[in-house]
Amino acid sequence: MYYALFFLMPFAAFLYASVGHGGASSYLMILALLGFAPEEIRPTALILNMMVSMVAYLNYRKAGVFPMQLFLSLILFSIPAAYLGGTILLDATVYKKVLGVLLIFPVLKFGGVFPISKDEQVERKWWMAPVLGILIGFVSGMIGIGGGIILTPIILMLGWAGVKETAALSALFIFLNSVAGFVGAATYEITVSQELWVLIPLTVLGGALGAYLGAKRFSVKVLKYMLAAVLLFASVKLILS
């Protein structure tokens, strides 16, 4: 089963990076199903998340306008929350199941069941983004993800940014949250086996290819359907975890 990682991890990185995500939720699932120890899973997922999300950001940053004001309103509050969450060891089983159920709605929305308006649906008050950043950052650091699977559908449903702008914002958000979560998790002993280190270059390569195709080759319509596929995968995984 170990050799399955050489396909599963790069493929997960490809799919997630194509929509500006780092893929931590997928890495967590794959490593857990293949029997890796819990103390290896979270740091490994965060390391991969940092690398893949940065590659995704660099590709999407060149492809569209970056919503800097919105990003700063989120990340300045999310980073300390992600660090704090990373210092906490908590059983996240119930949370994952609830999140998996909640993700079904954006899957239906991005899959075309409900139209996505290009206009702002909810006026952005000054306090909304900071509160959103704190909540997503804390939960992300605690579980070992970057928060993209939560942030992306919320921004798009609220109409605060377009698809590719949201992908770029989410990728950098994921990178910085993953760094903060990793530093927080480092308060405990971090173990990454030699076998997992070998997978890192292949996984990053898969992410680089996905980010390039997502930012340069795929149309926005295709990107929406790919995002729906990613969220559906994450939803099923979280419900069954």
pLDDT digits (tens, 9 = 90+) for 55-110: 999 888 877 779 999 999 999 999 999 999 888 876 657 667 767 776 786 677 66
Residue ranges of the chain whose pLDDT lies below 50: none
Q: How many domains is the chain built from?
A: 1
DSSP state of 196: H
Judged by phi (left if over 0) then psi (alpha if -120 to 50, else beta), residue 67 lies in: beta
Residue keyed to tokens 């999140």: 99
Encoded tokens for 200: 């890192």
Interatomic CA distance for residues 149 and 99, integer angstroms? 10
Q: Quick one: pLDDT at residue 137?
A: 94
Q: Quick one: pLDDT at residue 176?
A: 96
Cα 15–Cα 20–Cα 21 angle in degrees, nearest 5: 65
The number of beta carbons lying within 10 Å of the beta carbon of residue 100 is 19
The domain in which residue 67 lies consists of 2-240
pTM of the model: 0.84
Q: Quick one: pLDDT at residue 203?
A: 93
Q: Sign of the CA dihedral 120, 145, 179, 163?
A: negative
Q: Quick one: pLDDT at residue 175?
A: 96
